[in-house]
């Protein structure tokens, strides 16, 4: 699971009003480097919640060497052209993969397991 | 033409516009022809392509432009692209036309570029539906001798391959149409019976990428994949779908019914960022660590696809900001109950039994049947929400060849416009339709109920034309004569094989007891 995906996922347990953002509990996470696609990153930036992204990085940083928090900008400006910043954003959005762990609903505490990099968001029949 | 149109549009060319005109072929016939002649203004600048192949001497041309043949070779259904130098109804007409072209200014310019002493060449004779001897073919080649190529003739891999095509009339199945006997009941010699309806001469710019045989795409054939399932889509069709979806590098694509990931893989091969969701955890995880969706991607050196187990029926409950357009294309093969039944979360019971706490972590949630009408309604609604403006939804749906109306029986959505509906037949009655839609209107959250209730113009009964096809085929088969006998024979065979199995099991059991 990439952090880009985590940025979108929410809990849909019946009765919760605030199932976003999910907290990440990491058991195993890796970084797989990939070529930076600046155009793609630029197009994605307006669609993500930046605060949530930074919080996610914080929750993972105990497991992965990610010294990037200090280097990331405070806020995302309209047009970022700085190559290093875009490259950093690419790394955190695309190259970090949580392979094993849980996503925890902030409201109900319900844990959604992540196995083999695939988060399982399906509720049991009595939770819908 | 639909595939070609989508790919050309991707690169900024509109088919049938003044920039790209379709010319009529010599000899008008009622049948469809396997050739298409496109005409472009000579010095087309400012677009994402250029007409000349190979190195460019002209400094003013943009280096980022992609050679036209590269664009066309993306099309699976295009066999080759030829720069046309002469055309006519008969060989003589074609020769005359080529001579005239050679004397025109454009013709001279192109000829100069391609006839230097360093450019080896050969002429291939391609006769559609007729056979000619070597001698006859060489005589045809000699008719073009006025083209004074300075380079050497080279049969293997020359710089330029020229082709002369003699077209005879063929029918829908690709067989040549010809009268075998004349009015005196004498058998007409083949080549005379199949007169040319068009003769073309030109320079080959590029070949299509074939998935079968020795084509460059053969490496992607399903035969070579590590992970397959009964619902994996064949590589050819999934590449054609990526063309309808205009999938390319830098785009975000999702397959909400990803299954074994066969369609998603084709999208990744085109360079897109790929995500897939499915409600079935077993297909997502695959059979083992080395046999799953990701291992297929790894096999081709592609980045890890993003996979989530979620229920497309409640897409907006799984994903925050679901109305923010995220995807450039949705390319998918939805489940319609033939080989893989559609499911959605929820129990059949009104008040489901609560799950025992200790067993909760391993509990596989119950799912209930998901009707085709709802599958398609939810798919279209999710597409309308999440596609960027102009983004495309491409899906496959099985249907009968007759008794199906595109305007009335396909699902509809206010925010989506139908672009193409192409039919591929399996049998005389049954086939599948590949539907392409484009987002043309913004999604309004408050109108969701309206959107969903308007999906099926003729009510959910239209959905039935796609669903339960297996049952319908069985019903139709039952009505055919001889069905009872055949069914009885099959039943007998099954009974015998069951008996044989039981016997062998008993034998083993007694052996065990003795041992």
Q: A117–B294: do the CB atoms touch at under 8 Å? A: yes
Tens digits of residue pLDDT in B76-90: 777 777 788 888 888
- Least CB-CB distance to B365: which of A32, A116, A123? A123
Res. B327 pLDDT band, cuts 50 70 90 = very high
Residues in chain B: 515
Asked if B342 and B280 count as a contact pair (C-beta separation under 8 A), the reply is no
Residue B468: is its pLDDT beyond 80?
A: no
C-alpha distances out from residue B348 to A120, A126, B352, Å: 21, 12, 8
Residue B45: is its pLDDT beyond 50?
A: no
Residue with the bigger pLDDT between B55 and B269: it is B269
* Token reading at B24: 């009529």
Res. B53 pLDDT band, cuts 50 70 90 = very low
- Cα–Cα distance for residue pair A122/A128, rounded to 1 Å: 9
Q: Does A14 lie at the interface with B, CB-CB under 8 angstroms?
A: no
Determine the distance in angstroms separating the CA of A68 from the nearest CA of chain B, rounded to an integer.
22
Strongest mean pLDDT among A112-116, B63-67, B93-97, B428-432: A112-116
Tens digits of residue pLDDT in B237-261: 888 899 899 998 889 999 999 888 8
Query: Minimal Cα distance from A9: which residue of B?
Result: B319
Query: Minimal Cα distance from B353: which residue of A?
Result: A126
Q: B319–A115: do the CB atoms touch at under 8 Å? A: no
- Least CB-CB distance to B365: which of A39, A97, A122? A122
Query: Minimal Cα distance from A115: which residue of B?
Result: B285
- Cα–Cα distance for residue pair B1/B32, rounded to 1 Å: 11
Average pLDDT score over residue span B260-289 = 88
- Cα–Cα distance for residue pair B416/B23, rounded to 1 Å: 32
Q: B360–A124: do the CB atoms touch at under 8 Å? A: yes
Which of A46, A57, A59 is closest to A93 using CA atoms? Answer: A57
Q: A126–B352: do the CB atoms touch at under 8 Å? A: yes
C-alpha distances out from residue A108 to A3, A14, A20, B250, B365, Å: 22, 9, 11, 37, 18
Tens digits of residue pLDDT in B408-464: 778 888 899 998 888 877 776 777 888 999 999 888 888 888 888 888 877 766 676
Q: What is the pLDDT of residue B253?
A: 95
Residues in chain A: 128
Contact partners, residue B198, CB within 8 Å, separation at least 6: B25, B26, B27, B33, B35, B87, B88, B89, B165, B167
Q: What is the pLDDT of residue B489?
A: 85
Residue B48: is its pLDDT beyond 60?
A: no
**With contacts defined as CB-CB under 8 Å, which chain A residues touch B345?**
122-123, 125, 128
Chain A and chain B share a number of CB contacts under 8 A equal to 98
**Which of B352, B365, B367, B382 best probes binding to A when mutated, by most A CB atoms within 10 angstroms?**
B365
Contact partners, residue B261, CB within 8 Å, separation at least 6: B227, B255, B276, B293, B296, B297, B305
Determine the distance in angstroms separating the CA of A62 from the nearest CA of chain B, rounded to an integer.
23
Percent of chain B topping pLDDT 70: 69
Query: Minimal Cα distance from A127: which residue of B?
Result: B354
Percent of chain B topping pLDDT 90: 10
- Output the tens digit of pLDDT for each of chain A's 128 residues: 998 999 888 888 877 778 888 888 888 888 888 888 888 888 888 888 888 888 888 888 877 776 666 677 777 776 677 788 888 888 888 988 999 999 998 888 888 999 889 999 888 776 66
Q: Give me the helices (H) in B293-354, please.
A: 293-299, 315-318
Average pLDDT score over residue span B486-494 = 85
Asked if B287 and B294 count as a contact pair (C-beta separation under 8 A), the reply is no
Residue B31: is its pLDDT beyond 80?
A: no
Q: What is the pLDDT of residue B255?
A: 93
Q: Which of residues 15-74 of A touch B (CB under 8 A)?
A: 20-21, 32, 34, 37, 39-40, 43-44, 47, 49
Tens digits of residue pLDDT in B115-160: 888 888 888 888 877 778 888 888 888 888 888 888 888 888 888 8
Asked if B92 and B120 count as a contact pair (C-beta separation under 8 A), the reply is no
Could you tell me the pTM of the whole model? 0.79
ipTM score of complex:
0.90
Q: A10–B320: do the CB atoms touch at under 8 Å? A: yes
Average pLDDT score over residue span B506-511 = 72
Interface of B with A (CB under 8 A): 249-250, 252, 273, 275, 279, 281, 284-285, 289, 292, 294, 303-304, 306-311, 314, 317-321, 324-326, 345-347, 352-355, 360-361, 363, 365-366
- Least CB-CB distance to B281: which of A2, A20, A120? A120
Q: What is the pLDDT of residue B275?
A: 93
**With contacts defined as CB-CB under 8 Å, which chain B residues touch A13?**
none
**With contacts defined as CB-CB under 8 Å, which chain A residues touch B250?**
37, 39-40, 43
**Which of B274, B295, B297, B319 best probes binding to A when mutated, by most A CB atoms within 10 angstroms?**
B319
Q: Does A120 lie at the interface with B, CB-CB under 8 angstroms?
A: yes
Res. B315 pLDDT band, cuts 50 70 90 = confident
- Give the phi and the psi of residue B488 in degrees, each rounded to 5: -65, -40
**With contacts defined as CB-CB under 8 Å, which chain B residues touch A34?**
303
Q: What is the pLDDT of residue B364?
A: 66
**With contacts defined as CB-CB under 8 Å, which chain B residues touch A121?**
308-311, 318
């Amino acid at each position: 699971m990439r952090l880009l995906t985590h940025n979108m996922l929410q809990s849909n347990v019946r009765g919760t009003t605030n199932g976003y953002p999910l907290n990440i509990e990491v058991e195993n996470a890796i970084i797989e480097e990939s070529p930076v696609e600046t155009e793609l990153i630029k197009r994605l930036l307006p669609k993500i919640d930046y605060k949530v992204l930074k919080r996610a990085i914080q929750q993972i940083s105990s497991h992965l060497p990610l010294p990037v928090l200090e280097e990331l900008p405070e806020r995302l400006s309209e047009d970022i052209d700085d190559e290093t910043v875009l490259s950093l954003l690419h790394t955190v959005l695309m190259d970090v993969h949580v392979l094993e762990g849980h996503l925890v609903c902030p409201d109900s505490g319900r844990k959604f397991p992540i196995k083999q990099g695939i988060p399982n968001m399906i509720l049991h029949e009595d939770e819908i | 033409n639909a595939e070609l149109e989508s790919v050309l549009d991707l690169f900024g060319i509109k088919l049938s516009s003044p920039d790209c005109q379709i010319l009529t072929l010599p000899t008008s016939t009622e049948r469809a022809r396997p050739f298409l002649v496109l005409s472009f203004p000579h010095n087309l600048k400012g677009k994402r392509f250029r007409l000349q192949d190979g190195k460019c001497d002209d400094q003013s041309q943009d280096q980022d432009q992609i050679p036209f043949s590269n664009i066309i070779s993306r099309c699976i259904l295009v066999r080759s692209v030829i720069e046309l130098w002469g055309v006519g109804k008969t060989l003589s007409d074609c020769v005359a036309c080529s001579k005239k072209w050679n004397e025109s200014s454009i013709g001279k310019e192109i000829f100069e570029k391609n006839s230097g002493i360093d450019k080896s060449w050969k002429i291939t004779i391609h006769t559609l539906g007729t056979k000619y001897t070597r001698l006859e073919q060489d005589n045809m080649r000699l008719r073009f001798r006025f083209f004074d190529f300075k380079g050497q003739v080279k049969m293997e891999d020359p710089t330029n391959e020229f082709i002369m095509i003699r077209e005879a009339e063929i029918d829908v199945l690709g067989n040549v149409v010809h009268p075998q006997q004349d009015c005196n009941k004498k058998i007409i010699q083949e080549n005379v019976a199949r007169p040319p309806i068009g003769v073309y001469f030109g320079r080959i710019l590029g070949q299509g990428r074939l998935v079968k045989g020795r084509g460059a795409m053969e490496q992607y054939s399903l035969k070579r994949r590590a992970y397959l399932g009964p619902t994996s889509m064949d590589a050819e069709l999934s590449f054609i779908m990526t063309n309808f979806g205009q999938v390319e590098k830098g785009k975000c694509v999702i397959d909400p019914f990803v299954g074994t990931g066969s369609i998603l893989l084709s999208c990744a091969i085109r360079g897109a960022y790929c995500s897939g969701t499915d409600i079935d955890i077993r297909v997502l995880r695959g059979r083992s660590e080395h046999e799953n969706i990701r291992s297929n991607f790894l096999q081709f050196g592609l980045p890890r696809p993003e996979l989530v187990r979620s229920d497309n029926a409640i897409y907006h409950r799984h994903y925050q900001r679901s109305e923010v357009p995220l995807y450039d294309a949705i390319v998918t093969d939805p489940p319609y109950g033939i080989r893989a039944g559609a499911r959605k979360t929820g129990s059949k019971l009104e008040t489901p039994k609560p799950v025992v706490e200790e067993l909760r972590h391993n509990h596989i949630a119950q799912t209930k049947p998901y009707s085709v009408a709802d599958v398609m309604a939810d798919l279209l609604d999710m597409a309308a929400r999440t596609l960027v403006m102009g983004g495309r939804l491409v899906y496959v749906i099985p249907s009968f060849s007759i008794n199906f109306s595109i305007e009335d029986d396909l699902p509809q959505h206010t925010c989506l416009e139908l672009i193409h509906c192409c039919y591929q037949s399996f049998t005389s009655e049954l086939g599948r339709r590949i539907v392409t839609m484009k987002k043309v209107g913004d999604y309004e959250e408050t109108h969701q109920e309206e959107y969903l209730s308007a999906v099926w113009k003729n009510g959910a009964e239209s959905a039935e034309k796609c669903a339960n096809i297996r049952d319908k085929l069985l019903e139709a088969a039952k009505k055919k004569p001889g069905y009872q006998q055949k069914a009885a024979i099959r039943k007998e065979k099954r009974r015998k094989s069951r008996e044989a199995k039981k016997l062998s099991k008993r034998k083993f059991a007694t052996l065990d007891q003795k041992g």
